[in-house]
Structure 1
Amino acid sequence: MLLTITTTHYPATDLGYLLHKHPDRMQSVPLSCGKAHIFYPKASEQKCTVALLLELDTVEMVRNRKGPAGDRLQLTHYVNDRPYVASSFMGTALSKAFSSAMNGTCNAKPELTTTDIPLEVEIAVLKSTGGEQLIRDLFEPLQYEVELKEHMLDEQFPTWGKSPYYTVKLKKKEKLKRVLSHLYVLLPVLDNDKHYWIDQSEKEKLIQKGKGWLDTHPLKEMITKRYLKHLQKYTSDLLETDESFSQPVHEYRLEQIVNQLKTLGIQSVIDLGCGDGKLLELLIREKQFKRIAGMDISIRELEKAKRRLHYDQLPERVKDRLTLMAGALNYRDERTKGYEAAILSEVIEHINENRLPVLEENVFGFAQPQYVIVTTPNAEYNALFEESQGFRHQDHRFEWNRMQFKEWTKKVALQFGYMVEVFPLGPEENPTFGTISQMAVFTKK
C-alpha cells in the first residue's frame, strides 16, 4: 500500500526538514508485520513528494494472528485485503516513520511546524466501509478538497459490482502535523477495524491526536467509537465531553470535587463507590488529606485501584493515609463513620430509585459525615449528544434533570438535618440544557 504527500511550498524541499527524512536517501522502519519504506519520487524547490510504502509480511501476519475481525473466521488470516489497502497498518507506519513530524518537532526550521503549507495527500487504495459519502463526511468538514476514484471488484466482471476501495486525493493548506494526525485517526475509522489490541493507551492517543479538531467534528461520536473498536469502557468517558475534548468530563468532575474539599478544609474523606481509584489518585497527591478511604462493592475494581495507585510501591507514610475496603452502600458499615466528608460521585444513578432511601439512611443517617458531596448526570444535557438514545451508561437506573435533582437534595437535607447547595458541573453551560453534570454539597447543621 502506498501513500504520498506532496507540497509546492517554497522551497518545497523543506518537507524533508519537517519529516526528518533526507530527500536523497531511502529509509526503512520495521513494523510488527513487515517494513515501511520512505523515499522521495520528486524533490525540487518547486515541488516535493514523499512516499510511504508498506511491505507487509503476510506469513508473519498469520503467525501473529493479525487477521481482521479477530478469530471469528480462520480463513481471514490467509485471504484478506490487509497488505493492499490503507488501514490501521498505515496509521502505525505514519507514527513510526514520521514520529517527529507528528509531534510537531523540527529543530532545523522550527517555524515550519506552525506554518500552513499547501499539501496534497494521495492514497493509492483506501477502504471505506461507508462508501464515498463517508470519506467526504470525514474529510470535508476539515476543509479538505476531496477527489475520489472508485474501483470495481473486477473490471473483467462488471456484474460483480463496485468495491469498497477508492483512490483518494486530499488537498489542503495546513500544518503538516495536523494532516498527519487526521490520517492517523481517520484511516482506521474508514476501515472500521484495527490490527492490534485496544487498551487504555489507545484512548490517550485519540485524545492527543484529536486535540484541536475532533471536538468540533460533526462525526465525533462515530469517529471515537470506530477508532476504539466500539469498546464502551473506553468510549464512554470521551463521549461525555463538552467542547473541550482534551479533558474528559470525568477528569473535570474529579478536579472540582477535590477543589471543593480543599476549600472546605477537609482532612479526612471517604470515596463511596470509588471504582478504579481515579479520585483517590488525586486525593493522595494532596498533603491536606491526612486520612483517605475508598470503598467499592467490586473486588475487581479495588484491584484496579491498587494498580492505578501503585499501592505495593507506595511509601509507608503514604500507605498509612490510605484505606481500601470492600463494602456495599445498602448495608450499615461502621468503617464509614468518622470521616469529615463522604463522596458519592456518579453513584446514585446506578441504584434503583426505590432503593435510594437505604443509601440515604446509611450515609446521611448512620455515617453522618460533616459534608457529603454528590454528583450525577444532568439528563437535560443528553439532548446535545449526537445519536443520543436512552441513558448515558447501560448500568444507569435513572438520570435526573436539574429540577429532579434539586428536589431530591432538598428532601434528603430536610430529613437528615443538613443544609445543601446545588451547583452546575461542567466546562461549559448551555443556556437551554445547563451543564453536562450537577453537584450537591451537603453540610451538617
Structure 2
Amino acid sequence: MLLTLSTTHQPATDLGYLLHKHPDKALRFDVATGAAHVVWPEATPERSTVALLLEIDPIALVRSQTPQALSQYVNDRPYVASSMLSVALGKVFRTALNGRCDARPDLAERPLPLEIRLPAVPSQGGPELLERLFAPLGWAVRAAPIPLDPQVPAWGNSRYVSLELTGEVRLADALNHLYVLLPVLDDAKHYWVSEDEVEKLLRAGERWLARHPERDLITRRYLRHRRSLVLSAVGRLAEVDDTEPEALDNAVAAEQRPLARRRIDAVVAALVEEGAASVADVGCGEGALLRALLNEPRFARVLGVDVSARALEAAARRLNFDRMSDHVRARIELIQSSLTYRDDRLQNYDAVVLMEVIEHVDPPRLPALGRTLFGTARPKTVLVTTPNAEYNVRYTGLAAGAVRHPDHRFEWTRAEFRAWAGHTAAEYGYTVRYQPIGDEDPELGPPTQLAIFRREEAR
C-alpha cells in the first residue's frame, strides 16, 4: 500500500520540516496492522517526494477477526488505500496533520503546490465519486479505472482506480483530506467505530467538512452508517453555519413584506385549510414557523425537529421557553432528528412541514427522505416549500448560476419541482397541488414554490 506526496515549492526540501521527517533518513513505524515505512525517493531544492509504504500482514489481520473463512486470507487489504493507510497517516504524520511546524510556522499556514499519488484506491462510486469528493477541496483530480484484466477488455473495470491529485493546498489540509476520505472511498473501516470517531471526524474536517457538498455522504461512510453517530456529527457540523435564517431568503427589496414572512403566512394558511390540529416542523431552525404555529390555538400539538442541537437551543430561547405559560408549553416539543432516517416520533401528526429544507438534502438522499416522510411517518398532509431557481436572475446580488445559500445542494426549476413532487405523490399514495409564494413574475414564476401533498385515503 503506497502513497507519495511531492512538492515543487522552493526550496522543496522544506517539506521535510513540515512533515518533521529528515529526507536523509528512512524510518519505520509499527502500526496495528503491520509496519509503516517513510522514505524519500527524491529530495532536491527543485522537487521533493516523500513516500509512505504500509506493509500489511493479511493473515494476522484475518486471525484477529471473526468469522475465520479461508476466502478472507485472499484479500485486497495489502495493496489498496483504505482506513489502514488513514490510521498510518495519523500516526506517522500526526504533528503535520495538526498543522504544527515550529521551524517554519509561516510555511505551515501557506498553500503549497502539492501532488499526491495513490496507485490503487477502492472507490464505491467509481471515478466520479473521487471528483465529487476532492474537487470541491481545491484538487485537480485524475482518476483512471483499473481494468479487471488488461488482456480481456470485455471483463470491464474493477472497483479500483489509480488516483492523482494536484493543487495549491495547505499541507495539513491535504493530509486531513486523505485521513477522512480514504475510508470514505472504501466505505469500510477495519476497526470498530465508536463515539470518539465523531471527534476525530470533526477535528480532521474542521476547516472544510461543514460546507463540503458531499458532507452527509462523507459523514455516513466515515462513521460506518451508525445512525446515532451520524446524527451527532451532522448536527454539530450544521452548527458551523451561523447565517441567520432570515438571511437565507434573498428576498427582493421591492416586496412590501419580506419573503420569509410571506412564506410563513402561506404555510399557516395552508395548514388551516387542510384542517391540521397537530403539526411537525422538520428543519425548524431557530423557530420562526414554530412561533407562528403557537400563535394559532387551533394547532393543539406542535413538534419542532432539527438535526442541529444549537438550532434547537436557539429556538427555545426565541420562543421564550422559560417564560411560557404551562398551557402553551404543553403544546410544543423540540427534538433532534434527521429526516433521512426513520424516526417513529414523527408519526401520528396531521401535517409535516418542510419549509426551505429539501434543498439542503443531497440528491442521492431524496429517496430516503421520501421513504421516511411519506412511507413511514405518513401524515395526512405534507407541505414542502423550496426556492424557484428560475427566479434567481431577479436577485441583483446573486451571481449567474449561483444558489441562494452555500449549503443548498440544489435549487429546482418549477418543472423539476413538479416532476419530483408528482413522482413522490404517485409512489406513496398522495395527491399534490401547487401554490406560489411571493410576487409572481409573468415569465419566471414566484420566488418560492409550495407543494401541498394530501394522503388519498385521508381526503
TM range (shorter): 0.5 to 0.7
Separation in 2 of the partners of 1:210 and 1:80?
30
Deviates more, 1:158-167 or 1:84-93: 158-167
Shift of 1:397: 7.1
Deviates more, 1:214-223 or 1:88-97: 214-223
Deviates more, 1:253-262 or 1:178-187: 253-262
Aligned-residue CA RMSD in angstroms? 3.9
Q: Can you give the 5+ residue segments of structure 1 that lack an aligned partner in the other structure? A: 267-336, 357-375, 404-427, 434-445
User: In the alignment, is residue 191 of structure 1 matched against residue 215 of structure 2?
Assistant: no
Shift of 1:9: 0.7
Return the letter of the residue paired with 2:62.
Answer: V
Matches within 5 A, 1:249-328: 249-253=307-311, 255-256=313-314, 264=322
Alpha carbons of structure 1 residues 75 and 260: separation in structure 2 relative to 1, 3 Å: farther
Q: State the SS of the aligned residue for 1:236.
A: helix
- Provide the residue aligned with 1:345 in structure 2: 334
- Provide the residue aligned with 1:25 in structure 2: 25
Shift of 1:111: 0.9
Separation in 1 of the partners of 2:240 and 2:381?
24
Return the letter of the residue paired with 1:32.
Answer: A
Q: Can you give the 5+ residue segments of structure 2 that lack an aligned partner in the other structure? A: 243-305, 337-342, 385-406, 412-446, 450-459
User: In the alignment, is residue 88 of structure 1 matched against residue 146 of structure 2?
Assistant: no
Native 8 Å contact 2:3 2:52 kept in 1: yes
- Provide the residue aligned with 2:165 in structure 1: 170
Return the letter of the residue paired with 1:207.
Answer: L
Q: State the SS of the aligned residue for 2:308.
A: helix
Matches within 5 A, 1:18-417: 18-65=18-65, 71=67, 74-240=69-235, 244-245=239-240, 249-253=307-311, 255-256=313-314, 264=322, 344-346=333-335, 350=345, 352-353=347-348, 379-384=354-359, 385-386=361-362, 387-388=365-366, 389-390=369-370
Deviations 1:179-220 (A, max 9, x none): 111111111111111111111111222222222322332222
Alpha carbons of structure 1 residues 99 and 241: separation in structure 2 relative to 1, 3 Å: closer
Alpha carbons of structure 1 residues 97 and 244: separation in structure 2 relative to 1, 3 Å: same
Return the letter of the residue paired with 2:314.
Answer: Q
Give the share of equivalent positions with the same residue, in percent.
Answer: 39
Shift of 1:258: 7.6
Separation in 1 of the partners of 2:38 and 2:172?
17
Deviations 1:208-256 (A, max 9, x none): 2222322332222222222222222222344457754589953304543
Separation in 2 of the partners of 1:401 and 1:252?
26
Q: State the SS of the aligned residue for 2:370.
A: coil
Separation in 2 of the partners of 1:27 and 1:262?
60
Deviates more, 1:125-134 or 1:156-165: 156-165
Native 8 Å contact 1:211 1:246 kept in 2: no
Structure 1 residue ranges, 4+ long, deviating more than 6 angstroms after superposition: 260-263, 340-343, 391-395, 399-403, 428-431
Q: State the SS of the aligned residue for 2:118.
A: strand
Q: State the SS of the aligned residue for 1:390.
A: helix
Separation in 2 of the partners of 1:21 and 1:209?
21
Q: Tell me the TM-score normalised to structure 1 length.
A: 0.61
Alpha carbons of structure 1 residues 353 and 377: separation in structure 2 relative to 1, 3 Å: closer
Deviations 1:294-331 (A, max 9, x none): xxxxxxxxxxxxxxxxxxxxxxxxxxxxxxxxxxxxxx
Separation in 1 of the partners of 2:159 and 2:210?
28
Separation in 2 of the partners of 1:246 and 1:63?
45
Return the letter of the residue paired with 1:134.
Answer: L
Native 8 Å contact 1:391 1:399 kept in 2: no
Shift of 1:178: 0.8
Shift of 1:400: 9.0
Separation in 2 of the partners of 1:42 and 1:231?
42
- Provide the residue aligned with 1:10 in structure 2: 10
Alpha carbons of structure 1 residues 41 and 240: separation in structure 2 relative to 1, 3 Å: same
Alpha carbons of structure 1 residues 79 and 252: separation in structure 2 relative to 1, 3 Å: same
Count how many residue pairs are aligned between Structure 1 and Structure 2: 316
Separation in 2 of the partners of 1:242 and 1:401?
27
Deviations 1:100-157 (A, max 9, x none): 1111111111111210110000112112122222222222222311223332223344
Q: State the SS of the aligned residue for 1:179.
A: helix
Native 8 Å contact 2:122 2:159 kept in 1: yes
Q: State the SS of the aligned residue for 2:168.
A: strand
Return the letter of the residue paired with 1:6.
Answer: S
Separation in 2 of the partners of 1:250 and 1:244?
6
Return the letter of the residue paired with 1:160.
Answer: W
Shift of 1:345: 2.9
- Provide the residue aligned with 2:288 in structure 1: none
Native 8 Å contact 1:35 1:56 kept in 2: yes
Q: State the SS of the aligned residue for 2:102.
A: coil
Alpha carbons of structure 1 residues 95 and 378: separation in structure 2 relative to 1, 3 Å: farther
